[in-house]
Structure 1
């Protein structure tokens, strides 16, 4: 560690004594510029509190720098903030695990769900989904933890919607740029930023990793006064990413159309789909093969061309691998699954249709279209006024909008080119292997084996495209056994992988 950096990081003891409560310095703009309020992008190393959090039988001590504005011209000061948490050992010249203050990776954890706005998180938070908060775990391993807030579909200021697409990904990119801008004066290295998110947050984590430095986002970043630095990252962690929204409805019906007429043990239909809904399902199912085949993907197993004809068998491979891993590493009992064939301790086959019926017993499938939905206005909330994705693609003055040609045609409306451009900016698939873009070299993708929130072809295609185009050095993919729609599970496994790629 250089003396220059030591002086910047180690602040006098009285800095903490004088700050008995978390400091909110985002509310103190630097000056005015052409009628705009201008916030400083300089990291304020002397504005922190010292905090602790319990982890198992240990107490983790860290410095907390909270409510940092990461752009000069925010449009929503409630959400365009980030928190930084640093192990106290780094201010004492010590190392933590494999890392020092200069080499510590930055664990960038977003708490975005449902494409809704998210406030900056905290190591003290208790997760509503029952999974562990990864922030204390990351601190215990020596990572600098950063939690960015971000605008989302429901963000509103003075009657204007501020968080419609592509606001969330623009905010995350701006947060990355802030970290790079301040890399010389902050502990940790911005050359090793690991983004983590779940569901919509997983999709945004994937998009952050796929779209590094793409010029299409530049006008949005410039308007916010984001730092003029790169925004590519080192690694992406994406749990159950709700991505490829342009084609998610097609993928969903291609997979789940076959269970539309499933019945319970008493012979009663599980779903009360109307004839019109079943017709929509069939139409969408028929559209997916053309899209999937256009991707030109090749199997990561044997290099064979992937088409709709062998996609089912390809997905089965990952389901079987997940079951085998659960048996081998956790001793999971598979004897209750009549649709699974096991011979000499090896899973040799599954009845795919019966497996999908098993998946949808955990949580019923969505009525079609699963995502771009603005049809029947007689249903109860939240579907009456569209899906969360419909809200994502509204405008400053319009809360919801259809965003696919299919749904637009059903409603007799036209999708503008401006909206199509915004939809494009939210899909990681559009940027993997794209010329002139810096894809993250390391990826960790998980989708639960009983997660029906999006269809299995979506994460499988993302993984396969990453592998096919050579956009990554390491892609760790798994259909995590018996996991529903959730994230940040198996933290030991996750951080073992992160540690291995950060060496």
Structure 2
């Protein structure tokens, strides 16, 4: 069956939703299939929500129906399929019981386009996997193209699309922001019957992005080197309820030895990037993980601690932080990592037994799991195959941020909590540094004592968007 890409302007509902003391009234266009030939009708659709005030000729924060930016949040986590989300309660562990980002965005006056997308867990009736890489990002690009195809049928400025996502969704938001109109995805988009439109975006909001997976194992060991006890926190959404469990243990002598090896390889990687800080100082590492790059990462944690101190936080119980005359003057990053605790064993991502979500992401239609690094393949205990490096590159925002930057979005907001243990803080620091060095506008910060989470500072996020789109 072929689906039309022309939105029916008369097929909508006007809804009112109250959460807490806030009431929103909006026009809902739901279950909009955004490709002509979907292979997963459950996920290849988006929901479009528009404040009803715009249809009544009103303005919100100075925006009209044609000038208001479009907030584009994806709901991906752990690279699983993400639904086309709706305004309502937040089901994530962090923020549970509060309104979700879509509700807040509508309350703030933004148009919201919430796309669904395939992920690693989707199978067809034959058992073939439909969401392996690069399906996720292809779907998000198709959804952006759908919006532009319908720019004269909807309200909202399709030249001011701001993506948002957390965890794997943060990485996809970053990838959407760096890979605008990249020809590498064109065959996938053509096969689905995506609109013949552009898929670049205006700005990207990225919470704790799980990205640069080719080097994520190295970065994780650099961050948690010497922390050999792990505490894995597992959260599953079952029927809308979050169920938590914990698995803990100690790394084996082989894993500890390999941690030393990966730290040295991470130093090689960092040194190959040619990074600089804002003053022109080269960011480098020695094979033991020390060096100017480590100092640079530490500076962001110090900045976060200082803000917390200024806001009244008590840091006296953290002896690895030195405070003199109300100023944070030093911080031991290794001690901070011990405080945060290690969550994942070695290797954290390309696991030797092929059991990580990322191993499944890089599988094929017929083969559920694959390795995606030479290191993982060399140490495999499951005999897995190695994913084509070209496919792996299509899931890395740095592939495009370091290449032709003509279609990279200009504006970036990246957040990574100081208690995040799902990936290394070095990953997002590197990404922000690459973007800054290329001349892009980057707002990067590490919120104090925040774990692996997103959408916890929506007022600040929307203030940032308004500053870009006055």
> What is the TM-score normalised by the length of structure 1?
0.86
- 1:311 matched to 2:300: no
Conservation of the 8 A alpha-carbon contact between 1:40 and 1:72: yes
Unmatched tracts of structure 1, length 5 or more: 1-36, 264-269, 376-384
CA shift at 1:414, angstroms? 8.4
User: In the TM superposition, what is the alpha-carbon distance from 1:61 to its structure 2 partner?
Assistant: 0.2
Q: Distance in 2 between matches of 1:409 and 1:274?
A: 18
Contact 2:352 2:377 in 1 (8 A): no
- Show the 5 A alignment for 1:23-422: 37-131=1-95, 132=98, 133-158=100-125, 159-260=127-228, 271-300=249-278, 302-308=279-285, 309-328=291-310, 330-360=311-341, 364-375=342-353, 386-411=355-380, 419-422=388-391
Preserved CA contact (<8 Å) 2:223 2:334: no
Q: Following the alignment from structure 1 to structure 2, what is the Cα–Cα distance between the partners of residues 351 and 484?
A: 19
**TM-score, normalised with respect to structure 2:** 0.91
Q: Take 2:92 and 2:380, find their aligned partners in 1: how far apart are those partners?
A: 37
- String of CA shifts for 1:99-148, please: whole Å, max 9, x gaps: 11000100001110000001110112432324241112111221101110
Cα offset, 1:436, TM superposition = 6.0
Larger radius of gyration: 1
Compare the two structures and name the one with the higher strand fraction: 2
Does the aligned pair in 1 maintain the 2:230–2:343 contact within 8 Å?
no
CA separation of 1:98 and 1:390: change in aligned 2, threshold 3 A:
same
Count of paired positions: 444
1:469 to 427, 438, 441: 438
SS at match of 2:28: strand
Deviations 1:460-493 (A, max 9, x none): 00000000011x2x21100111000000011111
Is the 2:415–2:445 Cα contact (8 Å) retained in structure 1? yes
Gaps of 5+ in 2: 232-247, 286-290
Residue equivalent to 1:478: 445
Aligned pair in 2 of structure 1 residues 49, 205: CA closer, same or farther (>3 Å)?
A: same
Do 2:414 and 2:432's aligned partners in 1 also have CA atoms closer than 8 Å?
A: yes
Would the aligned equivalents of 2:369 and 2:384 in 1 still touch at CA under 8 Å? Answer: no
Q: Aligned-pair distance for 1:94?
A: 1.0
Q: 2:415 aligned with 1:446, yes or no?
A: yes
Distance in 2 of aligned mates of 1:299 and 1:198: 26
Q: How far apart, in 2, do the equivalents of 1:261 and 1:392 lie?
A: 27
* Equivalent in the alignment of 1:28: none
Q: Is the 8 A contact 2:417 2:453 kept in 1?
A: yes
Deviations 1:402-425 (CA, angstroms, capped at 9, x unpaired) = 110001112396866x62111000
What is the alpha-carbon root mean square deviation over aligned residues? 1.7
Distance 1:222 1:205 in 2: 22
- 8 Å Cα contact 1:234/1:441 also seen in 2: yes
Alignment correspondent of 1:457: 426
Distance 2:429 2:271 in 1: 14
State the partner residue of 1:15.
none
Q: How far did residue 327 of structure 1 move?
A: 2.3
Q: SS at the partner of 1:237?
A: strand
Q: Could you tell me how far apart the structure 2 residues matched to 1:261 and 1:70 are?
A: 46
